[in-house]
Chains A and B, each alone.
Chain A
Amino acid sequence: MTKLKIPVGPADHALGDEHAPVTLVEYGDYQCPHCGHAHPVVKELRKHFGKQLRFVYRHFPLTQIHPMAEPAAETAEFAAAHERFWQMHDRIFENQENLGLPLLGDLAQDLELSSEDLVGALESHEFLPKIKEDFMGGVRSGVNGTPTFFINGYRYEDLFEFAGMVDAIDAELGNANIEHRRAG
């Protein structure tokens, strides 16, 4: 029950080299405080591993306990349609304590996106299908809460603290090197 069922593909938001030996996938919720804590950890990991790590973010909003999670995810997808997904993603997490429709409108303006268009997209739920798809893919992969991380397709079961995740990724890099040598 701990393998990623939906492989990383072109519909995903990914940061880093497509051919990086390790891919870290996060299922997250913009209103979840634990995801808020994990956000700077992921940034540190990307800095630490550089080109060896690719990061993918998928939506897993728990809408009934986090009423702003879905509008926030829709806002990130709206920004993605204008190629500003990661800027919006960072800003939402960095301002998590003020999360609300006014904040989302302000963030859109910061990124030179029309807050009127954003309101339209939120009202029509234009980007909701993509979010639902992420969510159900997560459910199928056994995601049971947020954040849930997968390292090269295997679920990371430990606490999402920097040191533990570095160890897990290092272990995976070790494996990748061995396979590379074998292949060579």
Chain B
Amino acid sequence: MSSVLSPGTQAPDFTLSVTPDQKLSLHDLRGQPVVLAFYPADWSPVCGDQMSLYNEVLPEFQKYKAEVLGISVDGAWCHAAFANHQHLHFPLLSDFEPKGAVAKTYGAYREKDGFCERALFVIDENGVIFWSYCSPVAVNPGADGILEALENMKGKRQSYDEVENTRRAS
């Protein structure tokens, strides 16, 4: 398994295709939490694959104002077909050319397989990695770790705000 970037690291910026004719940059999402989910491939042969699960949990992620992004090395047309088939309501990014370049900057690329790890990153409002996790490639890591990280991040921000407010008040 690769060694993925750890909490506290600035999340490497990127600009990737989100549809065949649209691009999305990580820095566009500054000011809100971002969930970055690298995964090996579209069209995994099971019900309730990782992306379908995140699709179902989306309202919960949105409670934290978090933006969810799936990333794999599949091309934008493949993503479009997959997202359409699974009725996905969040963007899938194509780390397609040069292949896996963004995944490599996150330590989430499997050189010998030529696809991404199942690696999760929760990034805070300032673009710093708050939590990361790399699952064995055959294991869908679920959504509990992400939700816990979003919850902890919110808690941490609240206590920071309280300290700041007390400091300002005094």
Chain A residues proximal to chain B, CB less than 8 Å: 1, 5, 29, 32-34, 60, 62-66, 135-136, 139-146
Closest to A136 in B: B60
Q: CB < 8 Å: which of B46, B88, B142 contacts A143?
A: B142
By a CB distance below 8 angstroms, the chain A residues around B48 are: 29, 32, 60, 62, 65, 144-146
What DSSP secondary structure best describes chain A's contact surface?
loop
Q: CB < 8 Å: which of A32, A60, A64 contacts B87?
A: A64
Contact between chains at B88 and A64 (CB < 8 Å): yes
Closest to B143 in A: A139
Q: CB < 8 Å: which of A1, A5, A136, A145 contacts B47?
A: A145
Cβ of B17 < 8 Å from any Cβ of A?
Answer: no
Closest chain B CB from A153 CB (angstroms):
15
Stretch among B35-43, B50-58, B92-100, B155-163 lining the A interface: B50-58
By a CB distance below 8 angstroms, the chain B residues around A33 are: 47
20 further A-B contacts with Cβ under 8 Å, apart from A1-B144, A66-B47, are A1-B141, A1-B145, A5-B144, A29-B48, A32-B48, A62-B47, A62-B56, A63-B56, A64-B52, A64-B87, A65-B86, A139-B60, A139-B144, A139-B147, A142-B142, A142-B144, A142-B145, A144-B48, A145-B46, A146-B48
Contact between chains at B47 and A144 (CB < 8 Å): no
Closest to B47 in A: A32
Cβ of B126 < 8 Å from any Cβ of A?
Answer: no
Contact between chains at A141 and B144 (CB < 8 Å): yes
Q: Quick one: which of B84-122 are within 8 Å of A by CB?
A: 86-89
Cβ of B49 < 8 Å from any Cβ of A?
Answer: yes
Complex CA–CA separation, A168 to B56 (angstroms): 30
Contact between chains at B55 and A144 (CB < 8 Å): no
By a CB distance below 8 angstroms, the chain B residues around A60 are: 48
Complex CA–CA separation, A139 to B50 (angstroms): 12
Complex CA–CA separation, A25 to B32 (angstroms): 37
Interface hub of B56, B57, B86, B141 (most chain A Cβ within 10 A): B56
A-B contact pairs, 11 of them (CB 8 A): A1-B144, A29-B48, A64-B55, A65-B52, A135-B56, A136-B60, A139-B53, A139-B60, A140-B147, A142-B142, A144-B140
Contact between chains at B56 and A1 (CB < 8 Å): no
- Residues 113-151 of chain B, each 1 if its beta carbon lies under 8 Å from chain A, else 0: 000000000000000000000000000111111010000
Q: CB < 8 Å: which of B46, B56, B142 contacts A64?
A: B56
Given known A-B contacts A34-B47, A62-B48, A65-B52, A144 and B88 have beta carbons under 8 A apart: no
Closest to B133 in A: A1
Complex CA–CA separation, A33 to B50 (angstroms): 17
Q: CB < 8 Å: which of A63, A141, A142, A144 contacts B50?
A: A144
